[in-house]
Structure 1
Amino acid sequence: MKSKKLLIAITLLCLLMLLPSIAFAQLTGIKYIGGTTPDYTTIESAINDLNSQGVGTGGVTFLIRDGIYTENDNLTILDVTATESNPVIFQPDVGATVEINITITGDYSCGLKIHNSDHITFNGTAYNSEDDSRDMTINGYRNNDEDMFVFWLANGSDNITLENLIINSISVATNTGWSTPVYCSTYGITSPLVGMDSFTLSNCEVIGGSTYGVYMDGDPGIQLSNFNIINNDVHDFQKYGIFIFTDIADCNVEKNEVYQTFDESRTSVYGIRAGSSSCSGTTKIHNNYIHDLKHSANSGCRGIFITSDSHDNLVYNNIIYLVPGLTANTSYCIYLSSGDATNNQIYYNTLYIGGVCNREYPDFYCIKIYKDASDNILKDNILINERTGNVGGNDHCALYLKTATSFAESNYNFLSVNSDDPADNCYVGRIGSSYYNTLADLQNAPGYDPRDENSLTGDPGLSFPDLHLDSTSPCIGEATPIAGITTDFDYDPRDAIHPDIGADEFISNHAPIITYFFPEETAFSIAQNTEQLFLILAEDPDDDSLYYYWYLDDIQQGASINEFTYTFSDTGNFVVKALVSDGELADSTLWDVTVTSGVAVDDNFDLTDGIQLYQNKPNPFNGSTTISFITTKHTQLRQGLVGQAKIKIYNVKGNLVKNLELQISNSELKDITWDGTDNNGN
């Protein structure tokens, strides 16, 4: 009897010894969510396992298979300590399109939350894809007016990346209250009492929000630092597109498009709201395009609002295009509010405000500065106010200053209004309660000299609504260089000595761009006496005619077309170069080819393997459009091999519309034209 008891005790001891190794087996490699024989059937189960097991050497990638996922709310990644070499990634599987639907209930609730965790990435591009497509949508459904967030980043979360996603806040019942698709805040979180560092929101479409699109807010001693909001589409928010609030250090807001597509929001709307006295470092707001802000009937639209006591804001290369409604309240493109603010620098922006006012008293400004500071600077900006309408007490000004010294420096700007008739209430400048109809009047204002002594006025020569310079613009070559700003809104280089005024640097000619080349491998081996095809596809931003040149070991070959075929009869190493030129500027690519003795022939090649299909042009189209494609295994084929290409065109509902067929050779780039009709000729 004693021996049996001992055996049982020993068995239990062995089980207890095994349990820790089972419970703490860290996650590594690739894990699959959804689909056939998955590791996890839901995203929630994957997150729960990640929280309990942690991440091991090499990190873990969760590949979400194609489909629609309905998940519970408040899915939280908590206390997961990943590293740069051992990251955690959530991403659609190869070729997958993923939709995640979350109904969010309860005050201060969310769809997904990352809390006190490091090196977490949600990447919406399908795994192994070569582009940055947005293949994952996260919908947060909000059924009441409580405070809710689709994505919430909380205390202690460092090196977090949200990229290539569609993040959608959907208010089912009401657009009141406080909600946002992307919420980064330490407010109300007591553990741990630390901030967040290095967050990136990149190439996402951020939709909705009863108040905010993107919200960032720290607390004293637990600030947010090194936040990057880059290249996102932020639209259809109700009040603020991108909101930088308190206790934020070194924030970069770059290359975002901020706009609205509906008729009107519930209040005044702001494209970007920046700063407070508690922010530190430099807040950079640059290369953003803000347009079509749709305010409510008696409120206004504001492009960039730099708040009271905000300092160290660097605002440059932005384009703001505003047309407030007939009954709009006071509106402006850029506003520096009152308070004790220093070192705000505004360079190279193009600001336009237009439309007609049909309401008493509201005022409209390109720039309004309601503060004095000894080191604020305004240079190289275009300020165009073409708004009209004088119902009573309306002011339409390019520049409004609290005092003549609101800027320590203001120069090399372009200021223009719709009329210099005082009766129209259109003024190039206003200082306090004094109005100045023309640039000359402003330059001669008491205490204003030498500000704007090199500034210009008149017709700026802009295209609409992108507000780029045309070839006749007087702004070309009339700005002054600004240290550290060497490119324009489009990231084209600025002239180092005589740059252009405004966000756009006019470039009369852009270089052509090689968009595809074949073979895709630029260093490869082939057998002697193999006929090899080389091909490039190129585009010219100015639609110039293109000329193609081919070189073999620096000796020019063949005709000026975009493909070149050569039979390598000798063995050895060869360099093939393709160059495309518009007659002035060029782009090129090289192949290093090693030719060996022997013959290589593949009689079993399938033309359906390796098809490269290109975007139809034009798109959208009226009448007809052309589809281009090429097979990408020419090196394996003998001359003269042919096959049949079949292209099927579907509508947005997935219904087959048209079958197209043609004969194709293995050595050709082919075009096929669709006239827009279906298989019945309709």
Structure 2
Amino acid sequence: MEYQPLLRSISCFFLVLYSFLGHAQTLQLGSGTSITGTQEASPVNIYYRSMHMQIVYRAAELNAAGVFSGKLTELGFYIENAPIHNLPDFTISVGHTSANDASSHIAAPLKQVYKRSAYSPLAGGFDMLSLDSVFDWNGTDNIVVDVCFDRVFDYTSTGRVRYYNDGSNNAGFTRSDGSDQCGIPVSSTTNNKPQVQMTFLPDVANNAGVVSTNITDITCAGSSAVKATVGNFGNNQIDSLMIGWEVNGVAQNPVKYTSMLDTLLGSGSHTAEVSLGNYNFISGVAYNLTVYTYQPNGLADAQTSNDSVEVSTTVGLGGNYTIGGVGADYGSFTAAVNDLIAKGICGTTTFQVAAGTYFEQISLPQIEGAGPGSEIIFESVALDSSTVTLSNNSATFSSNYTLRFNGAGYVSFRHMGIASNNATYDRVVYFEGGSNHITFHNSVIKNVDVASPYNYQLVEVNSAAECDYLEFSHSYFLNGYSGIYNNGSDADHFTITHNQFINQRYDGVYLYGANFVTIDDNLINTNSTSSFIAIELRYCDSTLSVQRNHIMNVEGGQGINLDYCDATAAQPARVANNFIHLNSASSSAEGIYILGSLNVNVVFNTVNLVSTNTNNIGLHLSGGGAIHLLNNNIAVKGGDALYVHSGLSIDQSDFNNFYNANGDVGYWEDEVKTLSDLIAASGKDSNSISEPPYFYNDTSYQSAQVALNNNGSPVSGITTDIEGETRDASNPDIGADEFSPTSQDAGVYALVVPEMPFAAGSLPVKAVIRNFGGVTLTSATINWSVNGVAQSAV
């Protein structure tokens, strides 16, 4: 969900509009406290993902409430319980009808009066919506209110309204999980009619008023332009209007507006923004701004109750502030956050934190004024994460966090530590409420090191949070059940780069349902003996990058797992230049596992499985399609170097090194013992090899195998290796590391004679030597011994 600033002035506008319109012609239909069920159809219920509802409000009801005709400008249902997801393409249409109920679909001409790409109902009362277009009610026909929304991310038993019952078949509806229902005729009915409030404009001449001002309840210090939007709410055009304004009771110079304002139903605009002048706002001072209209068309206003708007405003924070230490602006994070909530910000606001440990629990809601170019930053004064720690010892499930983002946006934590000290409720950072554009940089996030973390991740995104643009870079994640955990929250734009994930128990990074994901240049090293998965991505679509990661010392489990992640042919997912070292004798290990995914390039990876477990798999492919396997260096000591369930999923496989020190090369719809068997079974890998990689050691991706050098094939977009070094443009090396072999390097490749068993007596001894270097050898000395007794060199 993209960040949308939620200015409290908008709420102020609704309240003011309600006031000047509602003194005589705001009505409520229905009363009482009856509430629709959690799975019952209502205008906002999402037990099914998409819904279309028609509700008939009879003219007799409106007449009894004191309204006999007029222009409908606002409408709102009583929201008892809001849906947990925003409602996509939420649309309200209104029309006249002779039908007394919704027993049949009403197809009479309807006028669309409101539409939002994402509507978030506000619970606790009538959520009044200012309509985009006015509906002119004739006072005689009944009114049909037609409401629909497209499919939400996932269905839940949320979205309840208050209702009343004055007959049968009061509302008709259709709903579905499988398709959008806007435009689909309603086919089911309910007697429960949603309670509603409607606002009608009276039909009078020379009725002008103030709609809003550009000054919100948070403003910036210094000279600011003051503007007001004025409107014509009468039945005749207005070609002149006076606008007055006051600040803290002091009158400012009035302005005369002389352009035409059309009627509400006219073809021209009935509102206009007018510049009133500039005012110098001083930090620390509270202000009350009043704007009012008078003399429309040079005459007395026919309805004065809508003439004015008042806004109370406070000068927001901006610039640099200090937390902790002598003479600080704030003694704690809590005090600073409370001030942010009360005042909002004007421009980037930085809190520099003095050295120390701060035992606090912080929850950051949406802060007014935060947005692009206007960020909130918390950082240590020393720019050293070891000097500042925000820590909490939460002891309850409901408060299981140290730092929570609940709707916050454009916030950064830099050069700081954030910790949990509770061995049971040990979650550290928690995201919910649509938080977005949150950054952690050069920070330490840790919890208590216990053998079995009770429940919690170092960083967790609530499953219904819809948080976007979360970035973690150059940071250190220590302990925890998982490092970063996002389980089906429809969170997009994750960036996880240059971090260290140390000693998580079950996952380094786990993302479910996230799109636009980058996981590059991370180190993941664990002491876990569980079935650990270093990087696990499920249903992560769109662009996906998993590159240059070092995955070390994993005891079983998997290095990289992609389940049902679909990219595009134009922008395939990249799993490239990664090094994976897995070691487990007791449980099986898989280096890279790609399941049911589309358009994935698995290229230039190095996998080293050092145990002899016969269930190990270096590179495992199952289902999906358009998979490309190129230039990978896969080495195992047991099991299979390559395992492919169906060759149909592999578009290209070549220039790889598939090596098993103790068994078959792998499986391609059946067992393949040798590289030749693999080529015959697959029709691919004609340029691949099967050679021992000669790693410098088990935890090193660097190799002394000259056969890997310059034997790969260029891949578009991959121009560097795991170390950032430039790859040969024509003949890159196989594996994660681009290297130059030692110039002179000979070695014994095999002992061929005598073959065991052999008879006693004098027998010839023969060995195969090999050039492992980068230059041609013309001679070499071979030393050999038998039972420790040196023999004559050759």
Alignment of 1:21-32 (within 5 A): 24-32=314-322
For 1:19 and 1:308, the matched residues in 2 are separated by: 55
Q: Percent identity?
A: 24
Alpha carbons 2:692, 2:705 under 8 Å: kept:
no
Alpha carbons 1:102, 1:111 under 8 Å: kept:
yes
Alpha carbons 1:372, 1:403 under 8 Å: kept:
no
Q: CA deviation at 1:251?
A: 0.5
Counterpart among 645, 648, 651 of residue 405 in structure 1? 648
For 2:505 and 2:515, the matched residues in 1 are separated by: 26
Q: How many residues align?
A: 432
For 2:564 and 2:374, the matched residues in 1 are separated by: 42
CA deviations over 1:236-255 (Å, ceiling 9, x no partner): 11101011111x22110000
Does 2:478 correspond to 1:237? no
- CA gap of 1:18–1:400, structure 2 versus 1, over 3 A, is closer
Does 2:533 correspond to 1:270? yes
Which residue is 1:383 aligned to? Answer: 634
Aligned AA (1:161)? T
Does 2:378 correspond to 1:90? yes
Alignment of 1:435-584 (within 5 A): 435-445=671-681, 448-449=682-683, 451-470=684-703, 472-507=705-740
Which residue is 1:164 aligned to? Answer: 442
Alpha carbons 1:350, 1:467 under 8 Å: kept:
no
Higher-Rg member (1/2): 2
For 2:694 and 2:676, the matched residues in 1 are separated by: 20
TM-score, normalised to structure 2, is 0.52
Which residue is 1:430 aligned to? Answer: 667
Q: What are the ranges of 5 or more consecutive residues in structure 2 without an aligned counterpart?
A: 1-247, 251-283, 289-311, 743-794
Alignment of 1:341-360 (within 5 A): 341-357=597-613
Counterpart among 445, 457, 461 of residue 180 in structure 1? 457
Counterpart among 483, 495, 498 of residue 213 in structure 1? 483
Does 2:356 correspond to 1:67? yes
Alignment of 1:663-682 (within 5 A): none
- CA gap of 1:401–1:38, structure 2 versus 1, over 3 A, is same
Counterpart among 549, 554, 574 of residue 288 in structure 1? 549
Which residue is 1:118 aligned to? Answer: 409
Q: Secondary structure of the equivalent of 2:677?
A: helix
Q: CA deviation at 1:27?
A: 1.1
Does 2:496 correspond to 1:253? no
Q: CA deviation at 1:115?
A: 2.7
Q: Secondary structure of the equivalent of 1:175?
A: coil
Alpha carbons 2:442, 2:473 under 8 Å: kept:
yes
> Alignment RMSD, CA only?
2.6
For 1:468 and 1:363, the matched residues in 2 are separated by: 23
For 1:356 and 1:456, the matched residues in 2 are separated by: 21
Q: CA deviation at 1:159?
A: 2.2
Which residue is 1:415 aligned to? Answer: 658
CA deviations over 1:605-658 (Å, ceiling 9, x no partner): xxxxxxxxxxxxxxxxxxxxxxxxxxxxxxxxxxxxxxxxxxxxxxxxxxxxxx
Aligned AA (2:522)? N
Q: CA deviation at 1:80?
A: 4.2
Q: CA deviation at 1:306?
A: 1.3
Q: Secondary structure of the equivalent of 1:464?
A: coil
Q: CA deviation at 1:19?
A: 4.4
Alpha carbons 2:493, 2:517 under 8 Å: kept:
yes
For 1:111 and 1:77, the matched residues in 2 are separated by: 14
For 1:508 and 1:366, the matched residues in 2 are separated by: 25
For 1:235 and 1:197, the matched residues in 2 are separated by: 25
Q: Secondary structure of the equivalent of 1:292?
A: strand
CA deviations over 1:365-384 (Å, ceiling 9, x no partner): 101112252x1111110010
Alpha carbons 1:462, 1:473 under 8 Å: kept:
no
Counterpart among 574, 578, 581 of residue 314 in structure 1? 574
TM-score, normalised to structure 1, is 0.60
CA deviations over 1:288-311 (Å, ceiling 9, x no partner): 0001124xxxxx321011124655
CA deviations over 1:232-278 (Å, ceiling 9, x no partner): 001211101011111x2211000000111x3x44x3100100121xx
CA deviations over 1:160-216 (Å, ceiling 9, x no partner): 2100001002266x724431112234x245xxxxx3332210000011222x11113
Does 2:468 correspond to 1:197? yes
Which residue is 1:606 aligned to? Answer: none
For 1:166 and 1:240, the matched residues in 2 are separated by: 18
Does 2:329 correspond to 1:39? yes
Which residue is 1:149 aligned to? Answer: 427
Which residue is 1:363 aligned to? Answer: 615
CA deviations over 1:382-421 (Å, ceiling 9, x no partner): 010124xxxxxxxx110011133341211110111113xx
Which residue is 1:530 aligned to? Answer: none
Alpha carbons 2:458, 2:477 under 8 Å: kept:
yes
Which residue is 1:139 aligned to? Answer: 419
Q: Secondary structure of the equivalent of 2:658?
A: strand
Q: CA deviation at 1:87?
A: 1.8
For 2:382 and 2:692, the matched residues in 1 are separated by: 52
Q: Secondary structure of the equivalent of 1:405?
A: helix
Alpha carbons 2:423, 2:453 under 8 Å: kept:
no
Alignment of 1:600-639 (within 5 A): none
For 1:256 and 1:225, the matched residues in 2 are separated by: 20
- CA gap of 1:80–1:465, structure 2 versus 1, over 3 A, is farther
Aligned AA (1:499)? P
Which residue is 1:602 aligned to? Answer: none
Runs of 4 or more consecutive aligned structure 1 residues displaced over 6 Å after TM superposition: none
For 1:80 and 1:257, the matched residues in 2 are separated by: 37
Q: CA deviation at 1:101?
A: 1.7
For 2:476 and 2:440, the matched residues in 1 are separated by: 11
Alpha carbons 1:80, 1:116 under 8 Å: kept:
no
- CA gap of 1:292–1:376, structure 2 versus 1, over 3 A, is same
For 1:307 and 1:45, the matched residues in 2 are separated by: 44
Counterpart among 223, 227, 231 of residue 494 in structure 2? 227
For 1:199 and 1:413, the matched residues in 2 are separated by: 35
Q: CA deviation at 1:342?
A: 1.6
- CA gap of 1:118–1:309, structure 2 versus 1, over 3 A, is closer
Does 2:303 correspond to 1:303? no
- CA gap of 1:196–1:81, structure 2 versus 1, over 3 A, is farther
Q: CA deviation at 1:319?
A: 0.4
- CA gap of 1:141–1:20, structure 2 versus 1, over 3 A, is farther
Alpha carbons 2:706, 2:741 under 8 Å: kept:
no
Which residue is 1:392 aligned to? Answer: none
CA deviations over 1:570-590 (Å, ceiling 9, x no partner): xxxxxxxxxxxxxxxxxxxxx
- CA gap of 1:95–1:112, structure 2 versus 1, over 3 A, is closer
- CA gap of 1:427–1:80, structure 2 versus 1, over 3 A, is farther
Alpha carbons 1:217, 1:224 under 8 Å: kept:
no
